[in-house]
Structure 1
């Protein structure tokens, strides 16, 4: 009953206090109050219907369950639930144990903190809820408007992966970063907080990063996690995918992808396999391919964080293939080296933090020299499988050693030349 009361109480608080906005509502309340990818407005007065309660919670007898609450009424016409007296309902909710819900609900936290002097934090409650601008519903609304204005962009959507921050599973706190990598994020945050200053001084070439390093060292993971940190949708592009489509359309598709990034502003445009451009410039005499490469370089020149609100990230495993024309278009090159012993120890500690194990992580970090972060993740996964095959959940050192052997074998095969 408490979660039903929370929703009805939130509706009343939101209706009475105009200063509250969509980001003061929990994601569940947004859905019940009618926020969708087509309609992002929360028009007052909001209402709570039994139909929406049934749809969101799967509860078919909400009115019956709330009969015990003396401050909730049920309107047969429209099948709506509402609060009859806010102060009394607020006190009843706390007495019945609703404090935990209040601490996670920005609208209620604001009301109880400012109007009822209850010891809760509105700011903490707001930080615990994803902003509406980070949701898929908000992203879909923007994309729909863009396509309605320019139908040609629809084709570009088939060549990229567009993700809202809430959809990205990678989290910055799960990564082990070098000081240089951490500094790149601080620079972006600083630039975003001072965009007017940078514009006034004609500083525009900010926010173009080239991530360089061997496979499995976290280039893609950091790019994706920046979606959360910066509260921006991320557009993932693989150059080989674009150029493998209809060759004559490649240049146009590149233009459309960059147009989409600019229209979705603020956004992150992540171009993986950036070395593909170098192969195309040096090894392909096809005129269409050359035009595609030139279109890519031209678009990179014309996009930046200060003017367009776009963070551009290129990633490559083969920096030697890139010529000067590609290098000079990025204002910062970030190295992703194989982790040293200390970083390997930290990575292994994060990977095994929730596991029941008897591992010597110091020893494991020492014997996994030249292993990437992806290799270490594979070691732990294989150790888990090994333990499960023994019918155990406790991972032993022997289990993890099997993972080490498997990765070493994979890397040996990878380095073989069969011709």
Structure 2
């Protein structure tokens, strides 16, 4: 039987088991099936799920659906609603179990793993399949459902305008593609454990956890790590730049801060990432305007009020200027993660990751030696410049000379940005 027919039988078995067992929810559905039947208003996949011929094209690209289902003896079509159903579930399940790649399909499908585990299938493992599939919070559809609900509430639209929301499935760089120091890896593991044992932390009354400050120069990976944690933890990413929520009327700035934190609570579990943290939470001086002080105090109080254990919000702030933060701001964070410039070994590893899909003869070790003081962002810019320069010559393979030329171009650009160049040419 063709691969498409095997897909169809798996779909019908999956939806049948899902419909018949109230203990199973949308988190147990394979992601492609879950996304296809997702209902924004319901914020899930309501039961019963009914499979139609059109679903076969949406899920598997099957254009001639009736031809695809012909010859499946335990399946019938409702000619009125074009719905599909199994005439004998047991026969279909027995047939499916005997197929060549059934074990792999069962292991990747929590619903089928649940069913076959109860039938004492030696390879079926529901919990392992569930971990493979990942929860609904990973999906874009889940986040869109929350956004739609919030937008319909009073003041909801105003809250949503203040933040950039990203679903975990849309995160481009996972942690596996980032190069971290050993200390950073340890901090990340602590964060993961705090999320995993959130209920335990609540039970023992440990509430002041899950507030992390990322410190480092621009381009060292602060935002990339924060976003990668979203993908790792399977929670939405709520990104806020303080410069974007600062209003000419400072009283409105304080309101915007409160709106952002309320939005994070509505979207929980999530990561609230505050970029440019020093923009407001800077060292306070006696000659500051009283309204600015109130905005700073509002931010600090908002940080105090939010909790990973109670609210399901992991707060991550980032700053390029740690010297501008006063002690009151520093005290709000239980973890400080430093982002130094990458050393020689890290630079080579970054270059190896960025060039892994690029054809050509390249000595990344030499490039790493020539790029001391470069950030990870700088290294990626060099590879981008190399690729674009090669494309000008209709080449899709890089040479070492391409990389060396890109370094020269980058260094020339750095000179143009320097204070000395600007003072010499524009003053």
Task: Provide the TM-score with structure 1 as the length reference.
Answer: 0.90
For the 8 Å contact 2:35–2:141, the answer to whether it is kept is no
In structure 1, what is the equivalent of residue 195 of structure 2? 192
CA RMSD of aligned residues (A): 2.6
Listed as ranges, the gaps of 5+ residues in structure 2 are none
Once the two structures are superposed, what CA deviation does each residue of 1:255-312 show, in whole Å capped at 9, x if it has no partner? Answer: 1111111232222111111111255845984444332222112111212223322211
Q: Are 2:53 and 2:66, in contact at CA under 8 Å, matched by a contact in 1?
A: yes
Q: Please list, as runs of the form range in 1=range in 2, the aligned pairs for 1:129-208 lying within 5 A after superposition.
A: 129-148=133-152, 150-208=153-211
Closer/same/farther in 2, CA of residues 91 and 392 from structure 1, 3 Å limit: farther
- CA gap of 1:151–1:195, structure 2 versus 1, over 3 A, is same
Aligned residues, how many? 417
* Number of the residue aligned with 1:231: 234
8 Å Cα contact 1:130-1:166 kept in structure 2: no
Structure 1 window deviating more from structure 2 (270-279 vs 215-224): it is 270-279
Of 46, 49, 52, 1:46 maps to: 49
Distance 2:295 2:149 in 1: 27
Work out the CA distance in 1 between the residues paired with 2:256 and 2:187: 29
Deviations 1:312-360 (A, max 9, x none): 1111111112222222222222110000011111111111222222111
Give the secondary structure class of the aligned counterpart of 1:229. Answer: helix
Structure 1 residues 24-173: aligned runs within 5 Å:
24-32=28-36, 34-57=37-60, 59-93=62-96, 97-99=100-102, 100-115=104-119, 117=121, 119=123, 121-148=125-152, 150-173=153-176
Rounded to whole Å, the distance in 1 between the matches of 2:211 and 2:272 is 10
Between 396-405 and 109-118, the greater mean CA deviation after superposition: 109-118
Decide whether aligned partners of structure 1 residues 172 and 94 sit closer, same or farther in structure 2, where only a CA change above 3 A counts: same
The normalised TM-score by structure 2 is 0.89
User: How much does 1:243 deviate?
Assistant: 0.8
In 1, the alpha carbon distance for the partners of 2:322 and 2:22 equals: 54
Asked if residue 291 in structure 1 is aligned to residue 294 in structure 2, the reply is yes
Between the aligned partners of 1:89 and 1:199, the Cα distance in structure 2 is: 46
Q: Deviations over 1:199-253 (max 9, x none)?
A: 4544322111111111110000001111122222121110111114654421111
Alpha-carbon distance change, 296 to 49 in structure 1, aligned in 2, over 3 angstroms: same
Which deviates more, 100-109 or 396-405?
100-109
Contact 2:281 2:299 in 1 (8 A): no
> Is the partner of 1:339 in helix, strand or coil?
coil
For the 8 Å contact 1:280–1:289, the answer to whether it is kept is: no
Which of 258, 262, 265 matches 1:259? 262
Distance 1:246 1:233 in 2: 30
Is the 1:37–1:136 Cα contact (8 Å) retained in structure 2?
no
Aligned position for 1:12: 16
Matched, 1:405 2:421: no
1:377–1:261 Cα change, 3 Å = same
Residue 367 (structure 1) aligns with: 370
**Residue of structure 2 in register with 1:307 after alignment:** 310
1:4–1:62 Cα contact (<8 Å) kept: no
User: 1: distance between equivalents of 2:287 and 2:391?
Assistant: 50
C-alpha offsets along residues 54-105 of structure 1, whole Å, 9 cap, x if unaligned? Answer: 4555545323320121111111132111112223223444556553544432
CA contact (8 A) 1:280 1:293 kept: no
Structure 1 pair 233–300 and aligned structure 2 pair: CA distance change class (3 A): same
Structure 1 residue matching 2:272: 3-state secondary structure: strand
Partner of 2:399: 396
Match of 2:334 among 317, 331, 335: 331
Question: Aligned partners of 2:306, 2:109: CA distance in 1, in Å?
Answer: 38
Q: Give distance in 2, aligned partners of 1:284 and 1:57.
A: 65
Distance in 2 (CA, whole Å) between partners of 1:404 and 1:244 is 40
More moved, 316-325 vs 39-48: 39-48
Q: Which residue of 2 aligns with 1:416?
A: 419
